[in-house]
């Protein structure tokens, strides 16, 4: 009986269901592709493609746990990547160019927090507005052209492999996600994030300032967006207006798939990472099978709907337990 109750608890956990889905996806695509998806080089392609989305997910996951949402991550990252390329083309050294891009990402995060906290805008409205503004600046910097990345250090960061198989950019992104997970679960700051997301009123009574936490987390999300944008241009060796458009919702989708509730207060980086694995494996499998690339957009939308549906039923289940 005890063993059965343990199995039931595991099945109820979102992360277990996502791991199961990941294994099923791998098995299905392995059969359909005659094992191509399981080849070492292809698995490294999946890992490499996760570099940008892992950074986006890490930033947005911490914010979502606090009960807020940022829809500007894709546009913010695209702007920061374009800014790096523009400054390098104008002769600015790499380090100042990178710092300027990270500062820009943090500034966009600060503006998002100010709109939400000072003007009482709904987060999705505020961040949608800043997304539009950031996209406009991307077009201004690009001036209807792509900008090539010629800096060898940035090129090596985007393409270099450790031991011939492990992408440096992916390793960097995963390390930051692990650090984010440690902060969430093993520090006082992380506990504050969960408390603010779970019960803002109780957090205020315990001496936490939800507004201050919101500013910090929006800025952190902006910084991670900038790192994602820099990584994108480093991997592509060029900066264009499309940038992170294709990945703009992947961070949110991965976070919700992995068990981070839209209402905040639950979930973690481990689940978000498994959600990323599911998304990346699905995308890679469709490419390996030769599907029309536009079907990836349809699939991403369906996965987001699935994530929201799971979040809805999880919330209903939690309400039943509480009552």
Are 191 and 65 spatial neighbours (Cβ–Cβ below 8 Å)?
A: no
Q: What is the pLDDT of residues 119-176, one digit of tens each?
A: 999 999 999 999 999 999 999 999 888 999 989 999 999 888 887 778 899 999 999 9
What global pTM score does this model have?
0.89
* Residues in Cβ contact with 175 at an 8 Å cutoff, skipping those fewer than 6 apart: none
For 92, other C-beta atoms within 10 Å of its C-beta total 14
Q: What is the pLDDT of residue 207?
A: 86
Min mean pLDDT across 7-11, 26-30, 119-123, 280-284 is at 7-11
Q: What is the pLDDT of residue 7?
A: 42
φ/ψ of residue 261, rounded to 5:
-80, 145
User: Which residue has better confidence, 296 or 244?
Assistant: 244
Residue that has been written with the tokens 């905040």 in this structure: 264
Query: Strand, helix or coil at 63?
Result: helix
CA angle 14, 275, 251 (to 5 degrees): 125
Helix 210-236 to helix 168-186 angle (10° resolution) is 170
- Give the Cα separation of 86 and 84 in Å (integer): 5
Confidence of residue 285 (pLDDT cuts 50, 70, 90): confident
- Average pLDDT, whole number, for the chain? 87
- Give the Cα separation of 18 and 16 in Å (integer): 5
- Give the Cα separation of 266 and 195 in Å (integer): 9
Give the C-alpha distances (Å, rounded to integers) separating 223 from 127, 157, 203, 216.
15, 18, 25, 11
**Which pair of tokens denotes residue 101?**
């891009």
Confidence of residue 2 (pLDDT cuts 50, 70, 90): very low
Are 192 and 208 spatial neighbours (Cβ–Cβ below 8 Å)?
A: yes
User: Which residue has better confidence, 235 or 257?
Assistant: 235
Does the pLDDT at position 4 exceed 50?
A: no
* Residues in Cβ contact with 27 at an 8 Å cutoff, skipping those fewer than 6 apart: none
- Give the Cα separation of 307 and 168 in Å (integer): 30
Does the pLDDT at position 305 exceed 50?
A: yes
Give the C-alpha distances (Å, rounded to integers) separating 75 from 15, 72, 82, 121, 155.
29, 5, 10, 19, 22
Q: What is the pLDDT of residues 183-218, one digit of tens each?
A: 999 999 999 999 999 888 888 888 889 999 999 999
φ/ψ of residue 166, rounded to 5:
-95, 115
The number of residues making up the chain comes to 323
Q: What is the pLDDT of residues 58-109, one digit of tens each?
A: 999 999 999 999 999 999 999 999 999 999 999 999 999 999 999 999 999 9
């Amino acid at each position: 009986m005890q063993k059965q109750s343990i199995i039931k608890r595991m099945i109820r956990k979102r992360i277990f269901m996502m791991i199961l889905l990941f294994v099923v996806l791998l098995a299905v695509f392995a059969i359909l592709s005659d094992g191509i998806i399981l080849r070492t080089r292809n698995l490294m392609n999946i890992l490499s493609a996760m570099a940008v989305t892992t950074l986006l997910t890490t930033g947005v996951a911490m914010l979502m746990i606090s009960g807020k949402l940022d829809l500007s991550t894709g546009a913010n990252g695209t702007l920061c990547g374009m800014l790096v390329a523009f400054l390098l083309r104008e002769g600015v050294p790499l380090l100042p160019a990178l710092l300027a891009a990270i500062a820009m990402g943090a500034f966009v995060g600060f503006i998002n927090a100010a709109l939400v906290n000072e003007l009482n805008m709904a987060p999705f409205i505020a961040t949608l507005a800043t997304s539009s503004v950031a996209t406009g600046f991307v077009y201004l910097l690009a001036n209807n052209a792509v900008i090539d990345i010629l800096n060898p250090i940035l090129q090596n960061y985007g393409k270099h492999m450790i031991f011939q198989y492990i992408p440096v950019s992916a390793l960097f992104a995963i390390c930051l996600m692990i650090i984010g997970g440690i902060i969430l679960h093993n520090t006082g700051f992380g506990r504050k994030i969960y408390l603010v997301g779970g019960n803002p009123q109780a957090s205020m009574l315990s001496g936490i300032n939800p507004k201050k936490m919101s500013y910090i987390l929006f800025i952190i999300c902006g910084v991670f967006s900038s790192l994602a944008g820099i990584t994108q241009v480093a991997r592509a060796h060029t900066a264009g207006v499309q940038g992170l458009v294709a990945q703009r919702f992947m961070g949110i989708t991965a976070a919700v798939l992995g068990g981070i509730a839209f209402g905040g207060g639950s979930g973690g980086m481990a689940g978000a990472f498994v959600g990323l694995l599911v998304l990346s494996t699905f995308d890679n499998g469709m490419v390996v099978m030769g599907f029309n690339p536009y079907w990836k957009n349809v699939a991403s939308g369906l996965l987001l709907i699935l994530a929201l549906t799971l979040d809805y039923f999880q919330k209903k289940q939690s309400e039943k337990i509480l009552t």
